[in-house]
Amino acid sequence: MKACILTTAHSPFDERIFHKEARSLAEAGYEVVIVAPYETSLSKDGIRIQAVPPLSARADRIWRLNVLYQTALRENADIYHFHDPDLIPVGLRLSRKHGKPVIYDVHEYYGDSLLTRYWIPRPLRKLVARTVDLLEKRAARSFAGIVTVNDHMAELFRRENPEGEILHNYPLKRQFEFPRPAGMKPPVILYLGGINRERGLEIILRAMPLVRLKHPEVVCELVGPAETEDLGPEFSRLEPWLERGGVHLRGKVPYEQVPGVLARSSIALVPLLPTLNYRKAIPVKLLEYMAAGLPVVGSRFGYIEKIIEKNQCGLLNEPGNPESLAQDICTLLENPEKALSCAQNGWDAFQREYTWEKEQSKLLGLYERILAARKP
């Protein structure tokens, strides 16, 4: 059986798409091809990457989406699996016009996320968000199955389409084969993943100078793409803030290097702001921190609060409060036994409950059900 995975907004080597889903399918015997924007077509680990031109935000976007659709159609796969809402029209054409079974993999609350997008005029945000949410839910009726990432999201889509699975985006256990935590590492504060204002960039920039007043040796590594366009006017000159706080913008690193980044760190941050989207989402970075045996400082709301409180793997601070964030960082720096206890608790909880290996059987079961239903 041939499975064709489609994405426009992610690298073909994205953690969830390639390393979790595609590899799980390939290991189960599927022929897997990923159609995605990339420099060149290639094969890796038995998975074929079929490159298409990157999508533009301007006039040629529709034409480029059609190129991706035609490329996917030529693959003539037994089942299609797409990951981004702008591919809904492609998924509908494959399903309605060609009778292909199509899975929609929903990663986040896209309608809610539009309420905080600075590039949408503020008076139009609610209308745009409601419209996108309505169209997304209606389109879900036409797909063979819906993949979601938590119970709440699954319930919203189950009203439109009962076939699907919740695939928590838990880390791969084999990627985090660290020994048990054995003490505090050098004082490196880590934020892993894409960061912008609503993910806590301003809060980190304000908090780190306060930390360094007491602990001048501490540095903060921001590892992932940084968006600075929506920061407040006081951050128009970013360099002084970075220097005062010992903050280093490292940019995105290859997936294979993430464990090394985590291993060099001492304390990890989840300083997200309580937007509608983040109130409902489980931050993967939180679970990766736990997998690496790092004590966590996170915002007190949503799944961040539930997971940290349940597993006693870190401290909770008031969202959007740099003084509270700085105080919790200093508490862990000054209490290594507390930090080690949080690290150990998080590591134990990951091993027990939060690994991708516990999720992949649900992915394979969904594929088996959908393909079995298509047999004459």
**What are the pLDDT digits (tens) for 166-203?**
999 999 998 887 665 555 567 999 999 999 999 999 99
- Angstrom distance (rounded) from CA 34 to CA 16: 12
Phi and psi at residue 256, in whole multiples of 5°?
-65, -20
Are residues 106 and 209 located together in one domain of the fold?
no
The pLDDT of residue 119? 66
| CATH number of the domain enclosing 236 | 3.40.50.2000
Are residues 322 and 263 located together in one domain of the fold?
yes
pLDDT category at 256 given cuts 50, 70, 90 is confident
Are residues 81 and 229 located together in one domain of the fold?
no
The pLDDT of residue 180? 53
* Cα–Cα distances in angstroms (integers) from residue 291 to residues 20, 284, 344, in the given order: 16, 11, 10
Are residues 74 and 21 located together in one domain of the fold?
yes
3-class SS of residue 249: strand
Burial 211-241 (b: 16+ CB within 10 A, else e): bbeebeebbbbbbbebeeeebeeebeeeeeb
Are residues 153 and 204 located together in one domain of the fold?
no
The pLDDT of residue 174? 85
Are residues 154 and 249 located together in one domain of the fold?
no
Query: What's the DSSP call for residue 46?
Result: T
Are residues 179 and 116 located together in one domain of the fold?
no
Are residues 186 and 224 located together in one domain of the fold?
yes
Q: Is the dihedral of CA 125, 37, 106, 92 positive or negative?
A: positive
Q: Which residue segment(s) compose the domain that 34 sits in?
A: 2-168+359-374
Q: What percent of the chain is predicted at pLDDT more than 90?
A: 76
3-class SS of residue 134: helix
More confident call, 278 vs 322: 322
Are residues 325 and 207 located together in one domain of the fold?
yes
Are residues 154 and 211 located together in one domain of the fold?
no
Are residues 262 and 333 located together in one domain of the fold?
yes
The pLDDT of residue 244? 96
Closest CA to 128 of 148, 113, 108: 113
pLDDT winner (highest mean) among 112-116, 185-189, 263-267: 263-267
Number of domains in the chain: 2
Helix boundaries (H) for the chain:
23-27, 61-75, 88-92, 110-113, 125-140, 151-158, 201-214, 238-245, 258-263, 276-280, 284-291, 302-311, 322-334, 336-353, 360-374
The pLDDT of residue 74? 97
Cβ burial of 72 (10 Å; 0-12, 13-18, 19+) is buried
Are residues 211 and 142 located together in one domain of the fold?
no
pLDDT category at 58 given cuts 50, 70, 90 is low
